[in-house]
Amino acid sequence: MSLLVVGSVAFDAIETPHGSVPRTLGGAASYFALAASNFTPVRLVGVVGDDFGKQDEQILRRRRIDLEGLERAPGKTFFWAGRYNQNMNERTTLVTELNVFANFNPKLPESYRDSPYVFLANIDPTLQRSVLQQARRKPKLVALDTMNYWIERTPAELRETLKHTQILMINDDETRQITGEHNLLRAAKHIFKMGPKTLVIKRGEHGALMVHNRFLFSVPAFPLEEVHDPTGAGDSFAGGFMGYLASAGSITDESLKRAMVYGSVVGSFTVERFGVDRLKTLTRHEIDARAKLFSRLTAFKL
């Protein structure tokens, strides 16, 4: 079933100990869409500038991502530059130029308004809510990402948007910040009162934890010998997660667990190369093979 993603499309300049790229396709919506495209048809809403060329677009089109909702505005595309430290566990933002993204106001094309699965990537919670208001019918599933900036500056708006969200996908710190509660299980109970009934806590190299009101599920990050660029790992996780769920059609405890595994699998591929490079060629066959390795990594018999 169709999966709608709304979020940033950007150009990134990335430096890691393994090399650097001066300009590569980036942004949460790009990573998400490319990751999810392995599982289900994806519709993208975002904004780019005049400098967004045919070959940039082709990266997305080749994965059959629907770009009817990709707005073109006069000016430059959102640009981000960052540098990772030697161990790639910290990064410094060198440049953030919002450009056309500063005035992003997501508009759903008519053909997107019935999307059953919706992912609201990290943008202003008011804009996230406007996406839901444009839907012709209530989506089957809405998942949302956010960040410290919105948690601090627009807490009331975020709370309002969370009322219409079933899955919140954030990291440990954001979970603690939204709830004012350090313990993640107790924090989840606060979140459940805000609307979402499922909290997915992304923990980077430590994997992810799902706290659902009926169960807990933990998935590790896939141990890799070579991590070339951590950029986009979390958005790729979200794309694999939501892409799988949209393809599964039904949301059950078992499909949610599999979604966690597929999210972690796709995230692990992303970081093997720079930017979206690995996602360009990733196949479902490769994903399924690595998912089997996840079974071996975690399965035991008592």
Restricted to residues 87-116, the positions that interact with a second copy (CB under 8 A) are 87
Restricted to residues 217-236, the positions that interact with a second copy (CB under 8 A) are 217-220, 223-227
Asked if 301 is part of the footprint of a second copy (rule: CB under 8 A), the reply reads yes
Strands (E), 52-207: 66-72, 78-84, 91-97, 117-120, 141-144, 167-171, 198-202
Asked if 250 is part of the footprint of a second copy (rule: CB under 8 A), the reply reads no
| Cα distance between residue 11 and residue 21, in whole Å | 10
**Side chain identity, residue 263:** G
| Residue 34 CB-density burial (10 A; 0-12 exposed, 13-18 middle, 19+ buried) | buried
Q: Taking the complex as a whole, how short is the minimal distance between the CB of residue 212 and a second copy, in angstroms?
A: 12
> Which residue in 154, 257, 280, 286 binds a second copy (CB under 8 A)?
257
Asked if 300 is part of the footprint of a second copy (rule: CB under 8 A), the reply reads yes
DSSP state of 139: -
Asked if 302 is part of the footprint of a second copy (rule: CB under 8 A), the reply reads yes
> Which residue in 54, 55, 74, 86 binds a second copy (CB under 8 A)?
86
Please give the size of the binding site for a second copy, defined by CB under 8 A. Answer: 39
| Cα distance between residue 40 and residue 44, in whole Å | 13
| Contact string 162-201 vs a second copy (x = CB under 8 A) | --------------------xxxxx---------------
Closest by CA to 207, choosing from 294, 281, 287, is 294
| Cα distance between residue 230 and residue 275, in whole Å | 8
Q: Which residues bind a second copy (CB under 8 A)?
A: 86-87, 182-186, 203, 206-207, 209, 211, 215-220, 223-227, 254, 257-258, 260-261, 288, 291-292, 295-302
